[in-house]
Structure formats: structure tokens, C-alpha cells
């Protein structure tokens, strides 16, 4: 059997002196803690940045949902607005004046209903496009024909066949328009 004291005596000279070991160990512990502290700070900053991005994205999505949430319903209501407009167009002013009081009341009711429906759509961000006389813009207008018209610049909306509608900053339905052809060139926009 070997002597345990002899083994301890042999191991002691190979080790560092007792005064160096605690300083070296403390320095290593401090370095490890500083490195861990840096990593934790980096993780916290990244997490905070992710949370801020998430908050902004959520705010944007909520605003979009509020603005565009009625899109499909509004699109369905456009056919009702169109039908009310067509009904009123087929009752010329002369016929209205000559009509019986009951017929006049029906016409007035249809007019009131059309105005109320447009006002309700407007309260929800749905706005009518009235492009007549404006330069053709394919983002908001759909050209269905060109008509010669020397009185307006070429490329100007000369006729609106079906009104267009927007919701927020998006097109709900483009305006179907006729475009002038052959008139003077449109003046260039000054920047």
C-alpha cells in the first residue's frame, strides 16, 4: 500500500503557489461573468427590439383591419349604389315634375336612400372616385374606350361609364372611363 501523505507531498510541488491560484481563479471568474453579462445584455436588447417591432406590426395590422375590414361588404354594397343610381337616371327631371305626388315621393325616397348609403360608406372610409376631366391613371381608372375630343388634352378622362371607389388608400373598384383621343398634348407636370 502506498502512503497517502507521500502522494500529497508529491502533488504539491507541481501545483502553482497558493498565492497565485486565488488571483488567477478570481480573474477567470470575472472574465467569465463579464462575457456572460455581455451575452445577456445582447439578448435583452435583441428581445426588446423584437418586442418593439411586434408592437409596431400589431398596431399596423389593427389599423389595417379597422380600415379594410369592411372591404368585401363594401364591394357588395357597390352594386346596390349602382342600381339606385340607375333607377334615378331613368327618371328624368321632366318625368319627375309631371309625375303624380306618390311617384315623386318614391323618387325622393330612392334619392334619400342613395345619399344615405353613400354617406354610410363614406363613414367607413369608402370614397367615390370622380375622375371626369382628370388625366387617365391606370391605378384608379379602367379605360374601356377612346373617343375623339379636340376640346380636352389627349389622355384625359372624358366620360365616366361606371364610378370607381376607394377604401383607405386602396382601390375597391376602378372607375370605368372613356379617354379623349386626338386633342392637344397634356401640359407636362412641373416638379
Q: Specify whether the backbone of 126 is left (phi greater than 0), alpha (psi in -120 to 50) or beta.
A: beta
What CA–CA distance (Å, rounded) separates 74 from 117? 10
What CA–CA distance (Å, rounded) separates 26 from 22? 6
In-domain check, residue 44: yes
In-domain check, residue 138: yes
In-domain check, residue 97: no
Phi, psi of 127, deg, nearest 5: -120, 145
Query: pLDDT at position 56, please?
Result: 96
In-domain check, residue 79: no
Phi, psi of 56, deg, nearest 5: -65, -45
Based on the structure, what is the number of domains in the chain? Answer: 2
In-domain check, residue 142: yes
> Which residue range(s) make up the domain with 171?
126-185
In-domain check, residue 107: no
Of 30, 45, 66, at which residue does a domain stop? 66
Digits of tens for pLDDT over the chain (191 positions)? 555 555 544 544 445 455 567 788 889 999 999 999 999 999 999 999 999 999 999 999 998 888 888 888 999 999 999 999 988 888 877 777 777 888 888 888 999 999 999 999 999 899 999 899 899 999 999 999 998 888 888 889 988 999 999 998 899 999 999 999 876 665 555 54
In-domain check, residue 28: yes
Query: pLDDT at position 191, please?
Result: 44
CATH no. for residue 172? 2.30.22.10
* Cell numbers for 143: 379605360
In-domain check, residue 34: yes
Query: pLDDT at position 102, please?
Result: 85
Amino acid at each position: 500500500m502506498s502512503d497517502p501523505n507521500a502522494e500529497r507531498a508529491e502533488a504539491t510541488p507541481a501545483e502553482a503557489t497558493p498565492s497565485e491560484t486565488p488571483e488567477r481563479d478570481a480573474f477567470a471568474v470575472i472574465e467569465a461573468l463579464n462575457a456572460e453579462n455581455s451575452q445577456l445584455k445582447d439578448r435583452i436588447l435583441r428581445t426588446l427590439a423584437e418586442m418593439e417591432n411586434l408592437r409596431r406590426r400589431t398596431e399596423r395590422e389593427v389599423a389595417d383591419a379597422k380600415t379594410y375590414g369592411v372591404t368585401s361588404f363594401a364591394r357588395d354594397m357597390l352594386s346596390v349604389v349602382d342600381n339606385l343610381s340607375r333607377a334615378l337616371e331613368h327618371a328624368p327631371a321632366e318625368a319627375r315634375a309631371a309625375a303624380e305626388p306618390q311617384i315623386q315621393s318614391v323618387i325622393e325616397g330612392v334619392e334619400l336612400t342613395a345619399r344615405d348609403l353613400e354617406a354610410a360608406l363614406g363613414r367607413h372610409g369608402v370614397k367615390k372616385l370622380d375622375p371626369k376631366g382628370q388625366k387617365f391613371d391606370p391605378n384608379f381608372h379602367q379605360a374601356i374606350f377612346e373617343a375623339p375630343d379636340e376640346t380636352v388634352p389627349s389622355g384625359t378622362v372624358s366620360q365616366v361609364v361606371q364610378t370607381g371607389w376607394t377604401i383607405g388608400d386602396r382601390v375597391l373598384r376602378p372607375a370605368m372611363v372613356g379617354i379623349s383621343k386626338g386633342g392637344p398634348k397634356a401640359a407636362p407636370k412641373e416638379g
